[in-house]
Structure 1
Amino acid sequence: MRRLSRFIDGRDETMYSFSLILIAFMHSHSSADGKTVSGVFRSDAAREHHGQYITRFLYHGDHGLMSYRLDNAPLAVQKEAKLLLFQTMEDFDNLSCLERVAGARLTITLSTEAHNESMPQQSSPHTWHVMYSDRYTCQEEALEDVMEGVGFQLVMLNPDSAGNPLDHFSGEEAGLHSFYFMLILAYFVACCIYLQPLWQALNKGGPMHTVLKVLSTALLLQGLSVIFNYIHMARYARDGVGTPLIGGIAEFCDMVAEVQMLYMLLSLCMGWTLSRGRKPQSRPLQWDSTPASTALALGAVFTQGALLIWEQFEDTEHHSYHAHHTVASLLLMALRLVLSLLLASVLYQIISTERSTLKRDFYLSFAKGCFLWFLCHPVLVLLSVIFNEHQKEKVITIGVILCQSISVVILYRLFLSRSLYWEVSSLSSVTLPLTMSRGPRGRY
């Protein structure tokens, strides 16, 4: 927390601290669904909901496997316990209890302590939903007593590259582990090349110092998220559970980066616009905060933070970038669209009244970085409808990470560009970092 605070100035410290506390509190209460699922089969829960929902898994290939282990097999036999597998949950709420049980695509009787069930062959990947049912699930009479539950462990496996059922990853997660590894490698190479010049630029200060610090913090948080996701999925590949805490920290890093970038981009745009009328020639293209711009940025930040927390409560699976399964996700994407329109309007006002070609180019490049950051998630969610079920999550996750990384690179190049940055600003070269007059010319 203290390290993060050093990258932001004093007036923003309270806002960031409050955001971090809220998100950390949310993660301490969230849970995760793994592909090795442990729990208790409960007759009362199955009776109340016409079947106790356990989990889902997207099988691909011809050698999928589902295995279970029970703590009390005789009690399961006494209850006539069974697992019901469905390939679709559409119109499920409109079915009666008996219709649900009879409509199961596959039924597995829980009659032994342990059992391995081979999944039916299928031509394309399909999601299977697992529910628990017993003799009391559809009973109309009230239960005389609450019977003891049956502890279980359920393991679902896809075929690996050799065709053996050893892969814990669901179909929509396959390949993400390798993607995170390649991304870590790319971050490492970029750090080796650009870390020293960037550190020197940050130490020099200048009018864009705050912007560069926020960008650096957002990039650092993105890198940490990638590392934590890789660690979580590396463990997940071995046991099907992974480390939910590490997965939660990865989401935490992503959300803090989102909050930081939102505050920075709104503050910059609104600060530029509101300051042009009262002092059009002083401090151009800087973080020129005003009470109005700060209030607007804080309002948007708290709204986004509330929606992010709501989204986590509605969708407890660990996804850094959720699709459109919940109301909170839809509202969050709508907020990003509204913010994009607001930024477009603000930047259009600036560009339309700007006479300098260099400054217009500066603002246009800045607009590209802004829109890429805000619009990549909604656009990719809309485009994902044309892909198959097992491809949607990978398209959204990989696409958002790459687009936001490109957005940060665009903004870095814009604010660190020696020629454009030097020529656009009307400040003295004595106060500018990365100018020809400070330090050796061939340093960068």
Structure 2
Amino acid sequence: MLYLLTAVIAAALLASHALGKTVTGLFKSEVARLHKGQFITKFMYRGDAGLVICQVDNPSLAAEKESRLLLYPIVDQDWDNLSCYEILTRAQFTISISQEEHNQTIPFQSSPTVWKALYADRYTCQEATAIPSHGDLRFTVLLLNSDSAGNPLEHFSAEEAGLHTFYFLLLLAYFVASCIYIKPLYQALRKGGPMHTVLKVLTAALVLQGCSTFCNYIHMARYSRDGIGIPLMGSLAEFWDMVAQVSMLYTLLSLCVSWTLSRGRKPQSRPLQWEQSPASTAVAVGGVVTQGVLLLWEQFSASESEHHSYHSRQNLAGILLMALRVTLALLLASVLYQIISTERSTLKRDFYLSFAKGCFLWFLCHPVLVLTSAIFNEHQRDKVVTIGVILCQSISMVILYQLFLSRSLYWEVSSLSSVSLPLTMSRSNQRGRY
């Protein structure tokens, strides 16, 4: 079931299209009339030296149709009750398209402001006039913010600025950590042990997150140069992250439910063992399928496909996904409370409490960060959620690794010898004593 869901997610994401801030397409008179102006894109400008560049391949046809690009700063107002002429006249800037290229400078913005671009022509508001079959205009629109030198060369919108640097630093941290820990981790995976499956899933999820970070970095590095990037890389980044999400959910649910079911049985010689049963598997698969469906729904219900993480998207699917994570956190809290309240061993209680911290951090970071982001400015909210979720889930993985990959709480509460445990910290010349 997990592999089938992964295949469905891959097919859906790789078939999707991600928009950049160098927008290409066709100016369509029919679409402009139907929607009182054809929506082209939106962009958040900051500071000064903002620039819009509009290029068309047939300027003579554009002049005949009286084509123009309209720029609006987005404000909280109701546009539905306005007539077509009222909407067109409210544009702050009107770019008459009669040449191959037109440039429009955006005035100084005291605070980052979202601007949207619409296309209109002489037929947009004249519903009684038939639209001649002249064909459509192919266009390219570039939207640029100022860079550190004050030149309009930055393709990133204000709410995206800094994400490229973040992914670079995160990728660097992954590389340094892998250089330090890859050998002992490989030895631990070869050695096996009672929690070998957990270690494999944790490692797989960490590798998937690293792949997601790498794809995001490559995509945004290209995006910073041309405003388009590599949409396939952006889709792959989201795909790897989604697979990591569902694999971690399956592991955490399976562990908690299997530990609960084993409490009523005869004490085992191998405590804290991950035992798969029909009940634990059904709960874990149910949670995975539900989360996978919501993740896919969230992807395709977004009004515009962005090149960075889906974590910050706010729509019905995103709200349901956060509600699911809160529900799962409450379920895990109930399960772990039952275990801890009946556990007499202080060491085992400490182990379960540390495990609970890792679980709650993984599930609750997204809802908490979404609520917390409300205190930030609009252009900072997406970055707070995206960066915060990635960092919190990475910390959660570190907590779980500390439990299962070192001679710590798990080593102390296990009745197994250190030889069968993953990655003990004992020196090789001391292992004979245990």
Q: Does 1:118 align with 2:84?
A: no
Query: In 1, Cα distance between the equivalents of 2:324 and 2:135?
Result: 47
Counterparts of 1:177-326 in structure 2 under 5 Å? Answer: 177-315=164-302, 316-326=305-315
Q: Does 1:44 align with 2:30?
A: yes
Select the residue among 22, 26, 39 that pairs with 2:12: 26
Query: In 2, Cα distance between the equivalents of 1:282 and 1:107?
Result: 77
Shift of 1:56: 0.9
Deviations 1:3-58 (A, max 9, x none): xxxxxxxxxxxx23212211111113211111110000001111111111111111
Between stretches 252-261 and 88-97, larger displacement belongs to: 88-97
Contact 2:123/2:131 (8 A) holds in 1? no
Between stretches 83-92 and 338-347, larger displacement belongs to: 83-92
| DSSP 3-state at the match of 1:54 | strand
Between stretches 421-430 and 329-338, larger displacement belongs to: 421-430
**Corresponding position of 1:8:** none
Query: In 2, Cα distance between the equivalents of 1:107 and 1:144?
Result: 22
Shift of 1:278: 2.2
Query: In 1, Cα distance between the equivalents of 2:75 and 2:236?
Result: 31
Between stretches 137-146 and 384-393, larger displacement belongs to: 137-146
Which residue identity does 2:28 align to in structure 1?
R
Counterparts of 1:397-408 in structure 2 under 5 Å? Answer: 397-408=386-397
Between stretches 42-51 and 107-116, larger displacement belongs to: 107-116
Give structure 2 stretches of 5+ with no counterpart.
none
Q: CA RMSD of the aligned region, Å? A: 1.8
Between stretches 200-209 and 140-149, larger displacement belongs to: 140-149
TM-score, with normalisation over the residues of structure 1? 0.93
Deviations 1:127-170 (A, max 9, x none): 11111111222223263554411110000111110101111111
Counterparts of 1:139-150 in structure 2 under 5 Å? Answer: 139-141=126-128, 143=130, 145-150=132-137
Query: In 2, Cα distance between the equivalents of 1:92 and 1:288?
Result: 58
Shift of 1:280: 3.8
TM-aligned CA distance change 1:436 to 1:41, over 3 Å: closer
**Number of corresponding residues:** 429
Shift of 1:439: 4.1
Query: In 2, Cα distance between the equivalents of 1:286 and 1:134?
Result: 69
Select the residue among 358, 365, 378 that pairs with 2:354: 365
Select the residue among 372, 393, 397 that pairs with 2:382: 393
Between stretches 217-226 and 411-420, larger displacement belongs to: 411-420
Select the residue among 45, 59, 70 that pairs with 1:59: 45
Q: Does 1:173 align with 2:155?
A: no
Contact 1:221/1:256 (8 A) holds in 2? yes
Counterparts of 1:359-438 in structure 2 under 5 Å? Answer: 359-435=348-424
Shift of 1:373: 0.8
TM-score, with normalisation over the residues of structure 2? 0.95
Deviations 1:336-365 (A, max 9, x none): 111111111111111111111001100110
TM-aligned CA distance change 1:441 to 1:379, over 3 Å: farther
TM-aligned CA distance change 1:437 to 1:108, over 3 Å: closer
Q: Does 1:17 align with 2:6?
A: no
Which residue identity does 1:431 align to in structure 2?
S
Shift of 1:418: 0.6
Deviations 1:86-135 (A, max 9, x none): 22264233433222222223222212210111011221111111111112
